[in-house]
Amino acid sequence: MKKIITILFLISYTLYAQYNPELIDIGDGGISGISKDGNYVCGSNWPSPPFIWSAATGRMNVGDVEGEGYSVSNNGIVVGRFRDTSLIVGGDPVLRAGYFANDQWYGFEGLPGVPPLDPQSFTHAYGISSEGTKAVGMVWHPNYRVEACYWSIPDTGIGLLGQAGGYNSRANTVSDDGSIVAGWDGVQNGPDRRAFYWDPTPHFMGGFDPTYLVGESRGMNSDGSVIVGGSVWPFIWTEADGMQHVVADSSLYWNGDAIGISDNGIIVGFVDPGGFNYQGFIKMPGWLDIVRLKTFIEDSLGITGYENWYYPFGQAISADGNVIGITAYPPGSNFAHALVLTLDTTVPVELSSFKANVIEQSVQLNWATATETNNSGFEVQRKTGIREWEVLGFVAGRGTTTEPSSYSYLDELTSSGNISYRLKQIDYDGSYSYSNIVEVDVEPVTKFALYQNYPNPFNPSTMISFSVAQKSNVMLNVYNILGEKVATLVNEVKEAGSYQVQFNAQNLTSGIYIYKLEAASFTSTKKMMLVK
């Protein structure tokens, strides 16, 4: 085993010796979450308020009450639990799941009609999607059982994921788009925790011990296709390969967990060689085995100033693998410190193709990259005639990856003629570069038309597109199934062209709605479905 470890250290030195790493002590407590883009770190130092940290602002408290910060989105929204002084049980404020935004905590709802059982047993939030629109966790039932659940942000009520084993369940992490949730589900008189994911159908992921299939999912990559956790020992799971060991020889450890994985396959977590002597680890793609964080930091990266520190946990990692959260202890101290390890990769963002295709009164842009490094994303820009370049939108990148990636953007046009497009690729540090320019010729609009909204069904907003053949007064209204008007989206003169407008039905109830376009002598109606 010693010979293998020596080889791995040499590999890690070759990979990272030129990457200008930095290890930052951000104070007391432990790290529990890193935003996918690596810009924010959150954690807890109980009973103090949770904290959030960024390189730009340093460390700041999350509110001014006791709490726990578990996960943070790309826009700095922290989810966790906080003492809600407006919710009192037995004379004490309830520790309640919620999210922190706009300098205040917002509490998540529990089960309808079920108050907190006690100041500790109500709701818990453990994970948040990258854009801060969905949180996941668990809620308490009156029989002191818990169930995996989710909330939208802003909170519109609780969604339940079930108890597949008829006992307890919990959600720990969620994919970027909120479609995949992972955590655990238990069985009474059996494994109290089994590795599970939901989409939203529950899926049992298996385990390493065929007689006791215990396990828990702890982290996933951005799209949820790779999940990590622990089934006594650290595991990595994909639909194709099922559950696989992270460590080369699991017999060397009593137990352990893989807690986080980047989109390029870097895994962090912890193992216990025996006696609850937890050791944080890292494993790079292609490595034969894990390497302890202490060895990686001091020997492979050559970082000084932290000699004799104890690194028990690798807690979190950004999508590009360049920001790693560590909980560690200084020599002779019983108080944990939160450490942030940053790596500066050198793989370029290599654009392999960029094309534009005209589809009726829209232009479909498609592009691909061969490799990416610190790629925050692409700003899509358009130029018509003698006008300056205008920004149409932003498409998020994949951070750092050596795998090919594909992207697309649909431009719904309101004009015709020769149109130029380009991409502004932006790094996380704000640096940028432009792509080559592609051009298309678009024929003028020659008909009135109303198109089907997208998405449909929707919740709570959808896009409605229409075209106008000549300058006209245009009215676009929305009606309920009884014929009562509930919204006016457009009531103005429009030039000939194609248009789209967003309809937000946040304040409406689920059901069928009708939208009607009137322009010149043209009238058209279509149906859409709101599902909450």
Summarised one tens digit per residue, pLDDT across range 496-510 is 877 889 999 999 999
**Tens digit of pLDDT for each residue in 295-350?**
989 888 889 999 899 999 999 999 999 999 999 999 999 999 999 999 864 456 77
| Same domain (yes/no): 456, 387 | no
pLDDT for 414? 63
For 351, phi then psi, to 5°, come to -80, 120
Does residue 354 sit in the same domain as residue 338?
Answer: no
Residue 439 CA neighbour count, 13 Å, CB half: 5
Contact 353, 408 (CB under 8 A): no
Give the separation between CA 325 and CA 37, rounded to whole angstroms: 13
| Domains identified in the chain, total number | 3
Domain with 456 in it: 449-530
Condensed to tens digits (0 to 9), the pLDDT of residues 42-55 reads 999 999 999 999 99
Instruction: Give the count of beta carbons closer than 10 Å to the beta carbon of residue 359.
Output: 9
E-state strands within 146-226 = 146-152, 158-162, 166-174, 181-187, 194-198, 202-204, 216-220
- Regarding whether 516 and 424 lie in a shared domain, the answer is no
Choose the final residue of a domain: 378, 413, 442: 442
Residues 324 and 415 both lie in one domain: no
* β-strands 405-412, 432-434 pairing: unpaired
pLDDT at 12: 30
Q: Are 398 and 263 in contact (CB under 8 A)?
A: yes
- CA dist 269 and 530 (Å) reads 42
CB 185 within 8 A of CB 204: yes
User: Within this chain, do residues 107 and 15 fall inside the same structural domain, yes or no?
Assistant: yes
Least confident of 49-53, 236-240, 269-273, 426-430: 426-430
**310 with 375, same domain?**
no
Asked whether the bond before 119 is cis by omega within 30 degrees of 0, the reply is no
Alpha-carbon span 182 to 227, nearest angstrom: 8
**Claim to verify: residue 188 and residue 313 sit in the same structural domain:** yes
Contact 530, 513 (CB under 8 A): yes
pLDDT of residue 301: 83
The per-residue pLDDT of the chain, averaged, comes to 90
- The CATH number of the domain where 457 resides is what? 2.60.40.1930
Q: Is the pLDDT of residue 114 over 70?
A: yes
- 305 and 170 assigned to the same domain: yes
417 and 496 assigned to the same domain = no
pLDDT of residue 445: 67
Higher-pLDDT residue of 175 and 447 is: 175
Burial class (CB in 10 A: 0-12, 13-18, 19+), 313: buried
Q: Are residues 158 and 38 in the same domain?
A: yes
Q: What is the pLDDT of residue 344?
A: 64
pLDDT value for 350: 79
Residue 27 has pLDDT above 70, yes or no: yes
What is the enclosing helix (H) or strand (E) of 388? none
How far is Cα 129 from Cα 147, in angstroms, rounded to an integer? 19
For the chain, give the percent of residues with pLDDT over 70. 94
Of the pLDDT bands very low, low, confident and very high (cuts 50, 70, 90), residue 20 is low
Based on the domain organization, do 423 and 460 belong to the same domain? no
Encoding tokens for residue 317? 């990692």
- Residue ending a domain, choose from 308, 342, 376: 342
Residue at 366: amino acid letter:
N
pLDDT reading at 25 higher than 50: yes
Q: Of 273-282, 439-448, 510-519, which range is least confident?
A: 439-448
3-state secondary structure of 283: strand
Q: Say which DSSP state 133 is in.
A: -
Query: Residue 467, exposed/middle/buried by CB under 10 A (0-12, 13-18, 19+)?
Result: buried
Question: If you average pLDDT over residues 453-473, what whole number do you get?
Answer: 89
Residue identified by tokens 């909450």 is 532
In a shared domain, residues 510 and 424:
no
